[in-house]
Chain A
Amino acid sequence: MALTYEHIQSALVNKFGEAITNWQIGVDMASFEAPKEANLKVLQFLYEESSLGFQFLTDITAVHYPDQLGKELAVVYHLHNLVENVRLRFKVFTSIEDPTIFTATQLFSSANWMERETYDFFGIQFVGHPNLKRILNVDEMEYFPLRKEFPLEDQTRIDKDDEMFGRGGSIR
Chain B
Amino acid sequence: MRPVRFNINPIQANTKDSLAMVEAPEGYSGEGFFATKLSDVVGLARKNSLWPLPFATSCCGIEFMATMASHYDLARFGSERVGFSPRQCDLLMVMGTIAKKMAPVLRQVYLQMAEPRWVIAVGACASSGGIFDTYSVLQGIDQVIPVDVYVPGCPPRPEAILDGFMKVQDLVGQESLRRRNSEQYTALLETYGIQ
Instruction: State A157–B135 Cα separation when bound (angstroms).
Output: 12
Chain A contact residue count (CB 8 A cutoff)? 13
Q: Which residues of B contact A160 (CB under 8 A)?
A: 128, 133
Given contacts A160-B128, A160-B133, contact A154 B139 (CB under 8 A): yes
131-154 of chain A: CB within 8 A of chain B: 137-138, 141, 145, 150, 152-154
Q: Would you call B100 an interface residue if the criterion is a C-beta within 8 Å of the partner chain's C-beta atoms?
A: yes
Bound Cα distance A145, B133 (Å): 13
In the complex, B101 has a CB within 8 A of chain A: yes
Q: Are A145 and B135 neighbours in the complex by a CB distance under 8 Å? A: yes
Majority secondary structure of chain A interface residues (helix, strand, loop or mixed): loop
Instruction: Please classify how large the interface on chain B is, using the bins under 10, 10 to 19, 20 to 34, 35 or more.
Output: under 10
Question: Across the interface, which residues of B come within 8 angstroms of A150, CB to CB?
Answer: 135
Let me know if A137 and B133 touch, CB within 8 A.
Answer: no
B101 in contact with A157 (CB, 8 Å)? no
Report the separation of the CA atoms of residues A23 and B68 in the bound assembly, to the nearest whole angstrom. Answer: 60
Q: Which residue of A lies closest to B102 (CB)?
A: A138
Identify A152's interface contact among B101, B128, B134, CB under 8 A.
Answer: B134
Q: Separation in Å of the B192 CB from the closest CB of chain A?
A: 17
Interface pair B101/A154, CB less than 8 Å apart: no
- Interface majority SS on B: helix, strand, loop or mixed? loop
CA of A73 to CA of B66 in the docked complex: distance in angstroms? Answer: 48
Closest to B100 in A: A138
Q: Which of A53-86 contact B (CB under 8 A)?
A: none
User: Could you say which residues of chain A place their CB within 8 Å of the CB of B36?
Assistant: none
With A138-B100, A138-B101 as given contacts, are A154 and B134 in contact (CB-CB < 8 Å)? yes
**Alpha-carbon separation in the docked complex, A157 to B129 (Å):** 10
Kindly list chain B residues whose C-beta atoms are within 8 Å of the C-beta of A157. 129, 133, 139
Most buried by A among B100, B128, B133, B136: B133
What's the Cα separation between A153 and B130 when bound, in Å?
A: 12
Question: Which residues of B lie under 8 Å from residue A154 when comparing CB positions?
Answer: 129, 133-135, 139
5 contacts between A and B (CB under 8 A): A137-B100, A152-B135, A154-B129, A157-B133, A160-B128
Interface residues of B (CB under 8 A from A): 100-101, 128-129, 133-136, 139
